[in-house]
Chains A and B, each alone.
Chain A
Amino acid sequence: MKKISNLTEQEVKHVAKLAKLNLTPQEVKKFQEQLSEVLTYIEILKEVKTEKVEPTSQVTSLENIFRKDQDQASLSQKEVLSGTKETHQGFFKIKRILNND
């Protein structure tokens, strides 16, 4: 494992940007400290030899669970839109998320 336990302020800001979180300067400092501490703790995993170990991503041993490709009853348009305040002709009305440039 690379030695990466000490997060820089830039890294915290970068990660926050990737996750679309807005942080205040105080938050950046606080999270830098707290996340570095957790990452330092996690370094304990370096002790474990895993060259020949297969990763476990799920524990059910179930594979390829499919259903028949048949149409089923679904929620009505009204129900689907019930969680939003702004609709337009049966659609969600949202703010622009892409800019022209």
Chain B
Amino acid sequence: MELTQLSISQVQTGLKKKKFSSVELVNSSLEKIKKNNPKINAFLTVCEKEALVEAAQADKEINKIDKPLLGIPIAVKDIFCTKGIRTTAAAKVLENYIPVYDATAVKKLKEAGAIIIGKTNLDAWAHGSSGENSDFGPTQNPWNENYVPGGSSSGSAAAMAAQMAFGALGTDTGGSIRLPASFCGVLGLKPTYGRISRYGVIAMASSLDTVGCFGKEVRDLAILLEVMAGHDEYDATTPKQAVPNYQQNLDKKKPKLKIGLPKEYFSQGLEKKVEEKIREAIKKLEKQGIEMIEVSLPHTPYALAVYYLIQPSEVSSNLARYDGLRYGFDRTFFSDEAKRRIMLGTYALSAGYYEAYYLKAMKVRTLIKKDFEEAFKKVDLLLTPVSPTLPFKIGEKIADPLKMYLSDIYTVTANLAGIPGLAIPAGLVDGLPVGFQFLGPQFSEELLFQVAYQYEQLV
């Protein structure tokens, strides 16, 4: 077995037992990156020198200090500020930007001993569902180079699928972790809004932006969340709620578990082959004695419209700071998708239209949130598709923004309601990965992990 195939928990054990060293681990990741990155384009920056120095240090400490991620290479989406390492958001505007501080999530990873192996590609400013909006070229899907890996955390998902890192960081504003996880056949967690600090993450839409992670196994997601979650005085949306020991309770099973299947997510627009694959997963869970109940979230058909008002409005505000005066280039460096969203948001917030657009969207957001609250009175979790379609071809939707936006139709709801979602591979159709997601009430990550873990044991 190659080192790069191992999960984080396997690597933890291997390092402690001195089966291999951190330097060997870093080299195994670097080899994969050198071999495949010129094609896949998952990484924008590879931190080879720094990573090898840190690995040598980790090898000295491995049996002296107990840190959960000591010596383990992790990939970081290039939207997290990393001290001294170029951070671009895959946008030309920030092509030469070198932050002077670490994002809190990155800081916590480093404190846990993780080695930042590199910064991954994304749709510029995290605007996109395919990875094609990167100003530094699209990322390819490692399963088939003609297909998109999903976005916006395209590089992190592709890096995981191509075994270039043992875990990866992403952000999810409307599906940007779950969609690429699903398209690349890896696990992706979008936690509850506020569970992980957003400090030092280049802001897209502040009421929706959520920091999360990718992994090969459910346990790996639990390890990463445990490290990164918690209150941060630099992000007022992080509550002082205790972080559970997610790993410890992974194999617990909630008795009489009920999972809801929202009928609006299994209706027209869902590709038949995708649905069949997800129904197979549902059957496996049913055989475990989990009760499946059809539920309704009646305002689902309005979610994408709500999202495409609130998100661009917040984007227009957040991107207003890029004036090229203190760092970065000026606004002539914005590419098309950023311009579209800035203009859409500026329009929706402008005098005379605010009430008809932004205020209306915020009100419908309330109804969408209430739909979930009602559903979670009847069931513990929901199970839905991640994407209505299989991964699509590079170039297929790039000229039609609305068609591209519709890729997020099943994922934006979780961001509007602030609830967690966990995307899980369901298998392959025509050689391409299909995923489904569990959605739960706010701060139900522990239960999401347990049910996902139970499913993982079945496949």
Closest to B366 in A: A56
Closest to B304 in A: A41
Q: Find residues 38-55 in chain A having any chain B CB closer than 8 Å to their own CB.
A: 38-39, 41-42, 44-45, 47-48, 50, 53-55
Q: Find residues 295-328 in chain B having any chain A CB closer than 8 Å to their own CB.
A: 299, 301-302, 304-306, 308-309, 316, 320, 323, 325-328
Interface residues on A, range: 35 or more
Could you say which residues of chain B place their CB within 8 Å of the CB of A82? 98, 100
Interchain nearest-CB distance for B250 vs A (Å): 27
Q: Which of the segments B124-132, B171-179, B357-365 contacts the partner chain?
A: B357-365
User: With the chains together, A80 CA to B332 CA distance in Å?
Assistant: 24
Known: A19-B343, A55-B362. 17 other contacts (CB 8 A): A2-B356, A21-B339, A34-B340, A34-B401, A37-B401, A38-B344, A41-B304, A44-B305, A50-B367, A53-B364, A56-B369, A59-B369, A59-B442, A60-B193, A67-B233, A83-B327, A83-B328
Cβ of A58 within 8 Å of any chain B Cβ, yes or no, is yes
Cβ of B239 within 8 Å of any chain A Cβ, yes or no, is yes
Q: Interface on B for A, CB 8 Å cutoff?
A: 97-98, 100-101, 193-194, 207, 233, 236-237, 239, 299, 301-302, 304-306, 308-309, 316, 320, 323, 325-328, 331-332, 334, 339-340, 342-344, 346-347, 350, 353, 356-357, 359-367, 369, 401-402, 405, 416-418, 442
Cβ of A1 within 8 Å of any chain B Cβ, yes or no, is yes
Could you say which residues of chain B place their CB within 8 Å of the CB of A4? 353, 356
Decide if the interface of chain B is mainly helix, strand, loop or mixed. Answer: helix
User: With the chains together, A12 CA to B299 CA distance in Å?
Assistant: 31
Knowing A42-B305, A60-B194, the reply to whether A31 touches B237 (Cβ < 8 A) is no
Cβ of A89 within 8 Å of any chain B Cβ, yes or no, is no
Whether the pair B363, A80 counts as a contact (CB closer than 8 A) is no
Cβ of A94 within 8 Å of any chain B Cβ, yes or no, is yes
